[in-house]
Structure 1
Amino acid sequence: MNFNLNFIIRVYYEKPRSNIGWKGFVYDPYLDNSYCIIDGIYMIRKLLIDLIKKKLFLATECLNFYFLNFFIDCISWVCIGARTMNSQLHREFCSNIKNIIGIKNDVSSDLKLLNDFKISLINKHCFLSFNNFKIIFSKGNKNYQFVLRGGNKPNYNFTNIKNINSSIVVDCSHSNSFKIPINQIFVFENVYNQFKYYKNKIKK
């Protein structure tokens, strides 16, 4: 099977926390609890520009859209994580940008919620600006992919994939690999073989 393989570099400058802990480079770039956020913003933007000059495509996760506004012009692929995919604010924000949005299934692995996010994403919204006091009328964003990352169990099986009428990204890590790195190879090979042997039954 012939295909093109393009690499997108994951540059996650902030980290989702279930409770407390280090929230990422942009918050505390010196790792000393000094929280020099302004320095973090400048340093992250410089890093992104340096990577772009090397002709690399970049991906990040949208946790805090205030931060993403500083970097959005450098990012090709924006991930909506399992803990934020139900957030109305994230749906509104993403409907107003042109970047490709990777929508992860939530931690329960309910694939119906992916479609709920998609419907909201591709439609117009009216909301208050995050940076200053003005009203934004978004046009909707049709650039999206569903990201299967597993939940209470893996969800990259053929039954799930063939029934999704959308571009798909399979996360070989997280719950699909039971968070065991060596299992990522098995997941990749399994998905590759699905597309190799059943490509006529997979919609996209």
Structure 2
Amino acid sequence: MQMEFIRKLPIPKELKQRFPVTDDLRKIKEERDREIADIFTGREDKFLLIIGPCSADNEDAVIDYITRLRRVQEKVADKVFIIPRCYTNKPRTVGKGYKGMLHQPDPKGVEDLLVGIISIRELHTRILRETGFTCAEEMLYPENHRYLSDLLAYVAIGARSVEDQLHRIVGSGVGIPVGMKNPTGGDLNVMINSIEAAQSDQRFLYRGWEVQTHGNPLAHVILRGSVDRYGRNHPNYHYEDLREVMDLYQQRNLENPAVIVDTNHSNSGKHYLEQIRIAKDVLHSMHVNPEFRKLVKGLMIESYIEDGNQPVGGGVYGKSITDPCLGWEKTEKLIYEIADML
């Protein structure tokens, strides 16, 4: 085997014992988990905003941003439920570049996964302690989920991972909502297959154990647009797309039909300012068709302190070093506008 085994990393149980979640923080997570589940099952009609930086690249800037979100959350709490994005591992199409805080706690430094797993656990714990928020992560590496499983509110499975067997069946046992993105090619049946797998009982090998799950009824759709073989983006957030997803849910007889619309990526063509228009377009479709008000549970928005993005080492505080994001002023205004439109 042509691999260099560098060192044995602590298992999740060891890391949780070393960096525990206190009882008061655990109660906050449990209450948020209950309310989020109620939104997905329709027992509560608040609108979800899964919002935040493309990548959590700087602890202080992320805490600053999420603290601002907390102040806004208090003003729209009757209509909107915010789940901050705190994505600490990033997919790389060709395996090169910044892979997130898990790999590089210092984006300008070398990769160090031991420091990384400690850093991401401390970041999520600090967010919960200082803001009362539990966050969303991308489940890029299913084996790593348990390092944060007692802290997370939501996980997304990305467009390049949604066909993977392990991602699907681990999603059946995470105990929180798991959003399945449509693949980059746009085939919605692939995404629906993934949801059906995640909603089903599964037995499989995980972290050296034979495990059994009993299905995750909160597995659901994330629409993120697609890219054709010529590299052209095709959005899938329109009225007709929502109707197609509703029909697919009915054909499969899946539990808790739900859609989160990703306003960036191929829906916006990564033109981040388009997220404002797309968010309002989705809300308009919900007003036109009352069935969509039950189907569309929320939006996923990429947002940070400063507009746009910059290269690693660019030096602008609170500006993305991966995909471009909405800046804070536009973000705050958009959240209030969304609340007014609901």
TM-score, normalised via structure 1 length: 0.92
Cα gap change, 1:11 to 1:156, in 2 (>3 Å): same
Contact kept, 8 Å, 2:143 with 2:206, in 1: the verdict is: no
Contact kept, 8 Å, 1:29 with 1:36, in 2: the verdict is: yes
Indicate the structure whose relative CO is greater, using CA pairs within 8 Å and at least 6 residues apart: 2
Aligned to 1:173: 264
Cα gap change, 1:201 to 1:104, in 2 (>3 Å): closer
Amino acid at match of 2:179: G
Contact kept, 8 Å, 1:95 with 1:141, in 2: the verdict is: yes
1:158-177 Cα deviation digits (max 9, x unpaired): 11212324211111111111
> How far is the alpha carbon of 1:36 from its aligned partner?
2.0
TM-score, normalised via structure 2 length: 0.56
Aligned to 2:155: 78
Cα gap change, 1:51 to 1:202, in 2 (>3 Å): closer
Aligned to 2:188: 111
Amino acid at match of 2:184: V
Aligned identity (percent) is: 28
RMSD across aligned C-alpha pairs, in angstroms?
1.7
Determine the C-alpha separation between the residues in 1 that align with 2:115 and 2:155: 23
Determine the C-alpha separation between the residues in 1 that align with 2:145 and 2:174: 11
1:38 pairs, out of 114, 118, 126, with 114
Determine the C-alpha separation between the residues in 1 that align with 2:200 and 2:291: 30
Q: Which runs of 5+ in 1 are unaligned?
A: none
Aligned to 1:125: 202
Contact kept, 8 Å, 1:14 with 1:24, in 2: the verdict is: yes
Determine the C-alpha separation between the residues in 2 that align with 1:201 and 1:94: 25
2:274 pairs, out of 165, 183, 188, with 183
Mapping for residues 39-78 of structure 1, pairs under 5 Å: 39-53=115-129, 54-78=131-155
Determine the C-alpha separation between the residues in 2 that align with 1:67 and 1:96: 14
Aligned to 1:142: 217
Cα gap change, 1:200 to 1:29, in 2 (>3 Å): closer
1:139-178 Cα deviation digits (max 9, x unpaired): 1111122111000300011112123242111111111111
The structure richer in helix per residue is 2
